[in-house]
Amino acid sequence: MAITKKEIEHVAKLARLDSSGGVFDTLSADMQSIVAMVDTLQELDLSAMEDSVDLSRKNVFRSDEVLSSFPRDKILKNAPSQEAGGVSVPKIVE
Amino acid sequence: MKYEPVIGLEVHAELKTKSKIFCSCSASFGGDINTHVCPVCSGMPGSLPVLNKKVVEYAVRMGLATNCDISAVSVMARKNYFYPDLPKAYQISQFDKPLCQNGRVDFEVDGEPKSVRLTRIHIEEDAGKLLHEASADESLIDFNRCGVPLIEMVTEPDIRSSAEAKAFLEHIKTTLSYLDICDCKMEEGSIRCDVNVSVRPEGSREFGTRVEMKNINTFSGAVRAIDYEVSRQTELLFEGGTVEQETRRWDDIKLENYTMRTKEDAQDYRYFPDPDLLPIEVTDEWVESIRESLPELPLSKLRRYIGDYGIPEKDARLIAENKSRADFLDKCEKLGADAKTVTNWLLGDIAKLQNDSGKELEESGLTPAGLCALLELIGSGKISGTAGKKVLGVIFDEGGDPLKIIEKLGLYQMSGQDEIKSIIEAVIKENEKSVADYKKGKQTAFGYLIGQCMKASKGKANPQVVNKLLKEILD
Ligand SMILES: [Zn+2]
């Protein structure tokens, strides 16, 4: 499978990476070899397998019980900027 | 050429579990900013989500109530996107293996039966809330709502008008409240919907290009948004234009929508199974035990009220649509009250008391047993209908035993013949002129004499008995 520059730009956009300045120009060959390696998985014959869901472990549940949450100052400790108990971010307008 | 709207809905409902879907934080609405938050729901690295069993049960309840197949195996998946209200940068949802599929919702639109197919119902977590008021150049994030459990119900494009969409949404809301799995408080965002709209020439079987509309917060807003979008697309086609596949944002104040995302920058969510969560297996036994716990649903109640009790359809609908009213009526009926009489009280005086006080039935002091006792006292003539309404008001506000309230307010109606006879005789003696007038054929004199008797009894005499006895004595 060939990795085009367009695909790299798409992935970069999804990951919010800055693709300007030609930093990704050399990446298409690298990514192509990574994808080619993963492509070898396609050689496995899985036609006999019915479902990909492994049910050997399943249904791990908790009961609907409220326990105490974290103190707010602890939750906000790593926030780069906070105000009035909230994490403060640049204005979002849709 | 006439164009026909083709509409599909995606309805989100918040489930009313006590705790969140993947952690033990409270899921209740309205906590102080960022006080219902822990490492799991704020997306801290290394934290591990564990699924709340109630969420599965509640979703299966809705699945059964909407005739879905319940998947024996379903899987949680990550939906990846960046937004400040989503701390993990992915929402835990379901993708190719949802909990419920292939459902059907039966309801009525203006008395006509209508069926809408449900593609699926899946479970997922809600996102946080962005507060924009704080300042002009920053927004604040409140993570309290992150991880509140949601079900998302997706319909097939089976809806053909905004009226049908509204009836569908009302029906979903009623069903959620009957199943007791959602608060259904629109003002708190417990039910939200996205709308997919396309139009096609009437009679055509092909679908037109569809536009998705977001930011619809009320059912009446959905009607306005759909009507707007249908006429926008129709006008566009009439003018020879084409509809672009895009996502538009509805503005319910300006009453218009505008492009949010075009096809080119359509989201690519890169779903994949969440490796932190194990598959969910719902066995037949589990499904059956949930099925057994389902209450009677609104449509079946409606049919029972009309068919068995002979309640007029319009009234029956007003009762069946409201779970607390319907429960109230059913309990009164079990206690032996006449269902039609109870309906009249529920939709008349009781509805008025509710309107005036803003109280739900269960927040008032009135119980089915209390109303039944009151109706019996009125029926047997112990108190008048007017006095009954007074007593109802007191019970509604403060609760209490109707007998004691009647005693306290001195509302007993005098029905004893001898007691009333002696009052009438006294009145006749004092009003010889009116008696003579009546005997000369003056009907108003009779009314005057009745009035005097009622006054003499301080309003406690049963007017029918007074009427009958006065006639007997005078004629
Ligand atoms: Zn939490």
| Angstrom distance (rounded) from CA B67 to CA B105 | 7
pLDDT at B229 over 70: yes
pLDDT of residue B230: 95
B225 Cβ contact partners less than 8 Å away, ≥ 6 residues apart: B195, B213, B216, B250, B252, B257
Answer yes or no: do B254 and B279 share one domain. Answer: yes
Its pTM stands at 0.80
Segment B294-320 mean pLDDT: 91
* Interchain contact B307–A (C-beta under 8 A): no
pLDDT of residue B426: 84
Q: Find out whether B250 and B257 touch, Cβ atoms under 8 Å.
A: yes
With a pLDDT cut of 70, the percent of chain B lying above it is 99
Mean pLDDT (chain A, rounded): 85
A63 → closest Cβ in B34, B38, B53: B53
Nearest by Cα to B97 from B114, B122, B132: B122
Answer yes or no: do B435 and B363 share one domain. Answer: no
Q: Find out whether B90 and B273 touch, Cβ atoms under 8 Å.
A: no
pLDDT at B160 over 90: yes
pLDDT of residue B423: 83
Q: Find out whether B71 and B97 touch, Cβ atoms under 8 Å.
A: yes
The range of the structural domain enclosing residue B369 comes to 295-409
Answer yes or no: do B319 and B261 share one domain. Answer: no
Segment B109-115 mean pLDDT: 89
Segment B210-216 mean pLDDT: 91
The owner of tokens 């009961």 is A63
Mean pLDDT (chain B, rounded): 91
Choosing from B269, B286, B303, the residue where a domain stops is B286
- What's chain A's Rg over C-alpha atoms? 23
pLDDT of residue B266: 67
**B456-466 pLDDT, tens per residue?**
877 777 788 88
Segment B304-329 mean pLDDT: 92
Choosing from B286, B305, B334, the residue where a domain stops is B286
Strand order of the β-sheet with B76-80 is B90-94, B76-80, B272-273
Question: Which amino acid type is present at position B181?
Answer: I
Answer yes or no: do B422 and B457 share one domain. Answer: yes
* Interchain contact B141–A (C-beta under 8 A): yes
Residues of A in contact with B56 (CB under 8 A): 61
pLDDT of residue B100: 98
CA B312 to chain centre: 20
Rounded alpha-carbon distances, angstroms, from residue B37 to B81, B143, B414: 21, 6, 65
| Angstrom distance (rounded) from CA A21 to CA A24 | 8
Answer yes or no: do B10 and B69 share one domain. Answer: yes
With a pLDDT cut of 70, the percent of chain A lying above it is 96
Answer yes or no: do B312 and B357 share one domain. Answer: yes
Answer yes or no: do B279 and B263 share one domain. Answer: yes
B133 Cβ contact partners less than 8 Å away, ≥ 6 residues apart: none
* Interchain contact A86–B (C-beta under 8 A): yes
pLDDT of residue B348: 93
**B43-62 pLDDT, tens per residue?**
999 999 999 999 999 999 99
B140 → closest Cβ in A70, A75, A86: A86
Answer yes or no: do B71 and B157 share one domain. Answer: yes
pLDDT of residue B354: 93
pLDDT of residue A31: 83
Q: Chains A, B: CB contacts under 8 A, how many?
A: 130
Choosing from B236, B267, B286, the residue where a domain stops is B286
pLDDT of residue B134: 67
Segment B222-246 mean pLDDT: 93
Residues of B in contact with A86 (CB under 8 A): 33-34, 131, 134, 140-142
* Interchain contact B475–A (C-beta under 8 A): no
CB contact under 8 A, A58 and B281: yes
Question: Which amino acid type is present at position B334?
Answer: K
Neighbours of B212 (CB within 10 A): 19
| Angstrom distance (rounded) from CA B223 to CA B234 | 16
Q: Where are the alpha helices (DSSP H) in B337-442?
A: 339-345, 351-357, 368-379, 385-398, 402-409, 417-430, 432-439
| Angstrom distance (rounded) from CA B379 to CA B279 | 60
> What ipTM does this complex have?
0.85
pLDDT of residue B450: 86
B282 Cβ contact partners less than 8 Å away, ≥ 6 residues apart: B56, B60, B70, B71, B72, B73, B74, B99
Residue of A6, A10, A69 to mutate, interface with B, max B Cβ within 10 Å: A69
**B4-41 pLDDT, tens per residue?**
999 999 999 999 999 999 999 999 998 999 999 999 99
B288 Cβ contact partners less than 8 Å away, ≥ 6 residues apart: none
* Interchain contact A90–B (C-beta under 8 A): yes
**B357-375 pLDDT, tens per residue?**
988 888 999 999 999 999 9
d(CA A1, nearest CA chain B) in Å: 18
* Interchain contact A87–B (C-beta under 8 A): yes
pLDDT at B71 over 70: yes
B438 pLDDT tier (thresholds 50, 70, 90) = confident
CB contact under 8 A, B84 and A92: yes
A69 → closest Cβ in B35, B54, B84: B35
Segment B418-435 mean pLDDT: 84
pLDDT at B150 over 80: yes
Structurally, chain B folds into a number of domains equal to 3
DSSP-assigned states of every residue in B144-190: TTTT-EEEEEEE-S-B-SHHHHHHHHHHHHHHHHHHT-----GGGTS
Interface of B with A in 10-49 (CB under 8 A): 17-19, 24-27, 32-39, 42
> Comparing A19 with B345, which gets the higher pLDDT?
B345
Segment B316-327 mean pLDDT: 91
* Interchain contact B233–A (C-beta under 8 A): no
Lowest-pLDDT range, B42-46, B287-291, B386-390? B386-390
Answer yes or no: do B428 and B338 share one domain. Answer: no
| Angstrom distance (rounded) from CA B448 to CA B431 | 10
pLDDT at B242 over 70: yes
Segment A63-79 mean pLDDT: 94
| Angstrom distance (rounded) from CA B308 to CA B302 | 10
CB contact under 8 A, A84 and B132: no
DSSP-assigned states of every residue in A25-69: TTHHHHHHHHHHHHHGGGGS--TT---S--TTS---EE-S-----
Segment A12-41 mean pLDDT: 81
CATH classification of the domain holding B465: 1.10.10.410
Q: Find out whether B218 and B187 touch, Cβ atoms under 8 Å.
A: no
Strand order of the β-sheet with B3-14 is B69-70, B100-109, B112-125, B149-155, B3-14, B191-201, B211-216, B246-251, B256-262
Task: Using DSSP, state whether B382 is helix, strand or coil.
Answer: coil
* Interchain contact B73–A (C-beta under 8 A): yes
